A and B are shown apart, each in its own frame.
Chain A
Amino acid sequence: DTEVTQTPKHLVMGMTNKKSLKCEQHMGHRAMYWYKQKAKKPPELMFVYSYEKLSINESVPSRFSPECPNSSLLNLHLHALQPEDSALYLCASSQEWPSPPYNEQFFGPGTRLTVL
């Protein structure tokens, strides 16, 4: 199984809502990532978890709150988002972090988030 799954596929929320994005992988990977991607642009790293511990927070606003309940699951809790937060949110995983030299990351299909 080389798949990373993400739910929901699409999410529309108001600025006062609280919602969560979910990600799951069953490849035995110990590193998981959240990326934000705007249309026709490369992904931007938000968070890195290694062995269920937060290793990197790329100065992401606190309205985004990550959680790694176990090595297979990664959540992103959303609260009081702004319209400019509308984007494709991608989850990825890799065997380890960092994992030179290959550092291969496998991405999920993403959640298309629209903030009204």
Chain B
Amino acid sequence: TQLLEQSPQFLSIQEGENLTVYCNSSSVFSSLQWYRQEPGEGPVLLVTVVTGGEVKKLKRLTFQFGDARKDSSLHITAAQPGDTGLYLCAGSPYAGGTSYGKLTFGQGTILTVHP
């Protein structure tokens, strides 16, 4: 079974601070997605990273895929209250095995940004 360990589980910061969320695994993934979910809503896809070492930027959000495709990070610069939500990483296992085609989710990071 492929696992994704996401940390920290909770993050409470002030507006304007920077933060980083990590997803780590001992397994290799063919791709990794990051989602943001607000209370009572479905997860919204933020980004997909596919290539080892890949860095993608989405305004104040920077996503990185580890060289070995086993880990990923999400960095938010100058956090705003609108960034508040549940952040989920999800990895796609390689072919073979019962997990193929399914998303392996991290446990999520609950981010609260205070004004």
Contact = CB atoms under 8 A, between A and B. Distances in A.
A41 to B, nearest CB: 7
User: What range describes how many residues of B lie at the interface?
Assistant: 20 to 34
B41 A100 contact: no
A2 B22 CA distance: 28
Interface residues of A, number: 27
Interface in A1-43: 4, 6, 40-43
A50 to B, nearest CB: 9
A103 B106 contact: no
Contacts, number: 69
Given A103-B103, A110-B42, 20 more contacts: A41-B107, A42-B90, A42-B108, A45-B102, A48-B102, A56-B102, A90-B42, A90-B43, A92-B42, A98-B100, A99-B101, A100-B94, A102-B92, A103-B101, A104-B45, A105-B45, A107-B42, A107-B43, A109-B40, A109-B42
Interface of A: 4, 6, 40-43, 45, 48, 56, 88, 90, 92, 97-110, 112
Interface of B: 30-31, 33, 35, 40-45, 48, 50, 86, 88, 90, 92, 94-95, 100-103, 105-108, 110
